[in-house]
Amino acid sequence: MAEAADDTGPLPESLPSIVVDTSEPPEMLDLLRSEGLAVERRRLAPADYVLGPIAIERKSVADFHASMIDKRLFEQVARLKETYPTCALLLEGDLAFFSERQSPRAAWGALCSLAFDFELQIVPTPDRAASAQLLAVLARRLSRERGAGGGRAEVRYKPRLLGPHAEQKFAVQGLPGIGDIVSESLLEHFGSVRRVFSASEKELLRVAGIGKGRAADVTEFLERRFEGRQRRLS
């Protein structure tokens, strides 16, 4: 949940506004203010920017690549999608960066997965100044939709009450490496949470989005002995 703003007073009602995470660099705050936006800083986590129902994660191409390598990327996107009604990735920098890496296809594959599996909007910009301009355009557009004066850009979250379908997906997403899209595939394939949890590694491999590594991780997790407070004596 977002916390109270840490360094802003009342925002001017006449200006389009944007909520910015406290981890974003001061340069971005200055750029947004220079674009005529009223900036409110809060601890958002997830998301770097929020404008009403729209949450935006900003990543440089280098940060995108690093988070893909250490497997933070899809976990971050899954949390973003679970928290906000509408989500986007603002990808900042020269995309030629990916072609210069050792495995460029991995980056393009990750982008394809975000766009088509996670249905995440991906918006490229060349630098921070352009990112601020884009955010300002979006803020003004939303301000016009809210009516004259714009008003404050409230942070909107998805409802926390889970229906039966969401509860089943939530349970399956407790397995290692299983996010929103793959949990849906598992439940559709096996028909119930119990069948997912009792599936063998060979059966898991028949599900779209489950490769050998992920199937092995899930199987090892489900079969791992729980020792609790009583540790085995060596």
pLDDT tens-digit profile of 205-224? 999 889 998 899 899 989 98
d(Cα 90, Cα 123) in Å, to the nearest integer?
Answer: 5
Residue 150 banded pLDDT, cuts 50, 70, 90: very low
> How far apart are alpha carbons 204 and 190 in whole angstroms?
9
Q: Is the pLDDT of residue 227 over 50?
A: yes
Instruction: Quote the percentage of the chain above a pLDDT of 70.
Output: 83
d(CA 115, CA 21): 24
Q: Domain residues for 85?
A: 17-146
- Residue 9 clears pLDDT 70, i.e. is over it: no
**What integer pLDDT is reported at residue 169 of this predicted model?**
84
Task: Let me know if residue 199 belongs to a domain.
Answer: yes
In a domain? residue 5: no
The answer to whether residue 159 sits within a structural domain is no
CA contacts within 13 A on the Cβ side of 64: 25
The SS3 call for residue 148 is: coil
Position 35 scores a pLDDT of 95
Q: How far apart are CA 153 and CA 17, in angstroms?
A: 5
Q: Which residue has the higher pLDDT, 165 or 116?
A: 116
* Mean pLDDT, rounded, for 155-166: 61
Q: How many domains does the chain have?
A: 2
- pLDDT exceeds cutoff 50 at 100: yes
Tens digit of each residue's pLDDT (9 = 90 or more) over 37-76? 999 998 887 899 998 789 999 999 999 999 998 888 998 9
Indicate if 177 and 121 belong to the same structural domain: no
> Is the model more confident about 175 or about 200?
200
Mean pLDDT over residues 137-160, rounded? 64
- Residue 179: the pLDDT is 74
34 and 138 housed in the same domain: yes
E strands present in 81-203: 86-92, 121-125
- What pLDDT sits at residue 6? 45
Of 112, 146, 180, the residue that ends a domain is 146
Judged by DSSP in three states, 13 sits in coil
Do 125 and 179 lie in one domain? The reply is: no
Domain contains 111: yes
- Predicted confidence at residue 148, as pLDDT, reads 40
Q: Are residues 132 and 216 in the same domain?
A: no
Whether the pLDDT of residue 192 is over 80: the answer is yes
